Structure 1
Amino acid sequence: MGKIVIRVPATSANLGPGFDSIGVALHLYLTVIVEEKTEEWRVNHALGPDVPNDKQNLIVQAALAVNPKLKPHQLTVMSDIPVARGLGSSSTAVIAGVKIANELGEMDLSLADQVTIAAKIEGHPDNVAPGLLGDVVVSDYDGESATTVKLGMPEGLKMLAFIKNESLLTSESRKVLSDELPRKQAVVGSSVANVMVAALATNNWELASHMMERDQFHEIARTKLVPELPMIRETAHKFGIYGTYLSGAGPTIGTFGTEPQLIVLRQKLSDMDVKGSLRIFDIDRQGATVNAE
C-alpha cells in the first residue's frame, strides 16, 4: 500500500443558535500522511511539545478506538489550525483517525457511519459532521447514531475570524454554562434556530444572518470569557454586516460576509487594536478527503 494522504478542514461550530448541532467547514486544514509500518506508532509533527508523537496522539487514539487491530504506522502531520481556539482542531484529529482506521482496516465505512463514530468519540456532532461532509451541516447525535442534513452557505460568502491570542479549552468554557434554561428562553432559542435553518435552506441569507445573532443557549454566558463578541458585532452592524457569532466554545469570533465587506471590517477592527489575529477564510464545500478523492 502506498502513502495515504488525508486532509481535514477546520470547522466553526455552534453556528449562532445551533448549539452543539450546526457547524461549517473552513478552508484551513489538517493534513496527515500515513507512511510505512513501524514497530510503534510514530507521529512526526511541528505542533509543539504538548502534542504527543506516539500512540497517545489523539489521531492514533481515535484510529484505535475505531479499529484496535490496526498495525502501527509512521504518520506525518501538518496543520494550519490553531489549537484550542474554537476552530475544531481536536475534531480534525478525530476525523483523521476515523479515516485512517477506515483505510488501513479496509472497513468500507459509509460517510454516515463515519459521522456517527466521530460524534461518539467527540461527544457531539457539530464539528465532525461538517468536517466530514463540508459546507454547513445541521446534525443531531442521540448517543447512538448521528443524523445530518448538509445545506449550502450562499456563494460568495467568506468568514472573518477574530482569533484571540490565548487559548480557551472547551471544558473550561462549558463551566460557565447553566445546566438548565427557563422554558420561555429555551423556546425562543429553539424557534430562532429553526428559523435560521429554514432561512439557510431557502438561501435567505439576510434572514439567516440576523437569526445567527440571537442565540439563547451559550453566547450570553460565554461573553464574560470573550468580551470582544458584542464589540465586533456592533462594529459589523455599522457597515451593515450581520452574522457574527462565537465560534465553538470560543475564543474565536466569526463574522460572515462578502470579501469586500470583510476587508473593510478587518481594517476597522485592526484600527481598534483588538488583541488577536484577523483572518478571512473561504468555506470548504467538500469535507475531508483521502488522496484528494
Structure 2
Amino acid sequence: MNIKIPATSANLGPGFDCLGLAIALYNEVCIKPSTYQSISIKGEGEENVKLKKNNIFVSIFYDVYQELVGKKDFFRFEFYNAIPFSRGMGSSSAVIVGAIASAYEMAGIKVSRETILNKAILYETHPDNIAPAVYGGFTSSVVENGKVRTLKKELDATLKAVMVIPDRPMSTAQSRTLLPKSYLMKNVVYNLSRSSLLTAAFFSENWDYLRVASRDCMHENRRMRQMKELFDVRDMALKNGALMSTLSGSGSSFFNLVLDENVDRVAMALKSHFEMFRVEIFDLDNHGFQILKS
C-alpha cells in the first residue's frame, strides 16, 4: 500500500492549538510485507541515521497494528519525505496520522477518519495539525472529554499558500517555554474574538476579513523574536497583497494565504527580500491523507 499525508499549518494566528489547514505538500510511505523489517528514506531526513534506528512512524504503526491483529508481522517501509522537519509544517502530525491509518489498512480493518483522528490525539495532545492531516481543508477543533470534535471547510482552488521556509528550525517544545503561564483577560478576549471571526470568515468565504481576524496577541510575537526576520516577512507579505500572514505552527516557517491573482507578486517580493529563505507556492489540500493500493 501507499499513503500520502499533507503538510499542515496550525494556529493561523489567534487559533492557538485549535485551527489549522492542509497544504498540498506530501510525505509518502510505501509499505510492503517482508520476511524482515527494513526502512529506506528519501528526501527530508535521508541523511539522518537515527531515523532508521528509531523511527516514530514505524513505532506507532506497530503499536496500533499489534493492538489490532495481536501479533507483529514484518514489513518494508519506504519513506518519501517532502515536508520539512521542525519548520512548523506538521511533519510530526503527518507521521502520527500516516502511521495510524497505515496500520488499520495493513490489518485489513475499515475505519472512519474520526476514529483515526481520535487515535492520533493520544500521540499529539492538541488537534490543530492532526485534524487537517486527517480531513484536509480548513478545520476548527476542540477536545472534549478526550474526544476530538472537528468541523471542516473545503478551501477554494483560487487560494494558494506562499510558504516562507527559513534555513533553521524552531523547536516547538522550546518555543512553548517562551509563553506566559497566564494571560490578561483583555488578551484572551482579543484572541477569542479574532479566532471566532477567522473561523466564520473561512466558512463564509469572506476573505476580506482574514487580515484583521488573523491577528494574535498570545504567542506569535513572542515566538518570532527568536528569528526577528519573520516580522519583516509578515509586513512584506501583507504589503504585497496576502490575505493573511501568520507564523506556521510554532515556526519557523511563515504561512501566507494569497488569492491566485496575487500569488506571483507576493512570492517575488518575498524571494527578493529574503534570499536566505526558501519561498514556495503550494495549492491547498481538501482530502487529508489518501491511501492508494498498488
Q: Normalising to structure 1: TM-score of the pair?
A: 0.92
Q: Distance in 2 between matches of 1:117 and 1:250?
A: 25
Query: 1:143: how far off?
Result: 6.0
Note if 1:66 corresponds to 2:64: yes
- Asked if 1 retains the 8 angstrom alpha-carbon contact of 2:238 and 2:244, the reply is no
Matches within 5 A, 1:23-172: 23-39=20-36, 41-46=37-42, 47-54=46-53, 56-68=54-66, 69-142=71-144, 144-172=146-174
C-alpha distance in structure 1 between counterparts of 2:189 and 2:228, whole Å: 26
Q: Secondary structure at the match of 2:51?
A: coil
Q: Does 1:6 align with 2:3?
A: yes
Do the aligned partners of 2:136 and 2:154 also contact (CA within 8 Å) in 1?
A: no
- Shift, 1:235, TM fit: 1.6
Q: Conserved in 2, the CA contact under 8 Å of 1:7 and 1:290?
A: yes
Per the alignment, do residues 143 and 48 of structure 1 end up closer, same or farther by CA in structure 2, a change over 3 Å counting? farther
On the 8 A contact 2:6/2:94 being kept in 1, the answer is yes
Distance 1:8 1:182, change over 3 A: same
Offset at residue 65 of structure 1 (A): 3.0
3-state DSSP of counterpart to 1:67: helix
Kept after mapping to 2: 8 A contact 1:70/1:104: no
Q: Check 1:106–1:195 CA distance in 2 against 1; reply closer, same or farther (3 A cut).
A: same
Choose from 15, 18, 26 the match for 1:21: 18
List gaps (5 residues or longer) in structure 1: none
Q: Does 1:233 align with 2:234?
A: yes
Aligned-pair identity in percent equals: 28
Residue 154 (structure 1) shift: 3.3
2:204 is aligned, of 167, 183, 202, to 202
C-alpha distance in 2 between matches for 1:225 and 1:38: 47
Secondary structure, in 3 states, of the residue corresponding to 1:263? helix
AA in 2 matched with 1:185: N
Shift of 1:292: 6.7
State the shift of 1:72 in Å: 2.4
**CA displacement 1:232-284 (0-9 Å, x = unmatched):** 22222322433000001100001111234221122222222442100011001
SS at 2:79 equivalent: strand
2:273 and 2:148 map into 1 onto residues whose CA distance is 42
Q: Residue 154 of structure 1 contacts residue 205 of structure 1 at CA under 8 Å; is this kept in 2?
A: no
1:243 corresponds to which residue? Answer: 244
CA drift at 1:175:
1.4
Match of 1:17, as an amino acid? P
For 2:213 and 2:138, the matched residues in 1 are separated by 15
Structure 1 runs of 4+ aligned residues shifted over 4 Å read none
Unaligned runs of 5+ in 2: none
Scaled by the length of structure 2, the TM-score of the pair is 0.92
- Secondary structure, in 3 states, of the residue corresponding to 1:61? helix
Letter in 1 for 2:128: D
Report the equivalent of 2:262. Answer: 261
Displacement of 1:50 in angstroms is 4.7
Contact 1:44/1:53, CA 8 A, preserved across alignment: yes
Q: Distance in 1 between matches of 2:162 and 2:276?
A: 15
The CA distance in 1 between the partners of 2:21 and 2:204, in whole Å, is 17
Q: Is the 8 A contact 1:31 1:79 kept in 2?
A: yes
Q: Is the 8 A contact 2:238 2:245 kept in 1?
A: no
Structure 1 residues 186 and 240: alpha-carbon distance in aligned structure 2, compared to 1, 3 A threshold = same
Structure 1 residues 248 and 52, CA gap change in structure 2 (3 angstroms): same
Q: Which residue of 1 aligns with 2:277?
A: 276
Q: CA deviation at 1:51?
A: 4.4
- Which residue is 1:222 aligned to? 223
Check 1:18–1:179 CA distance in 2 against 1; reply closer, same or farther (3 A cut). same
Aligned CA RMSD, in angstroms, stands at 1.8
Separation (CA, whole Å) in 1 of partners of 2:35 and 2:132: 32
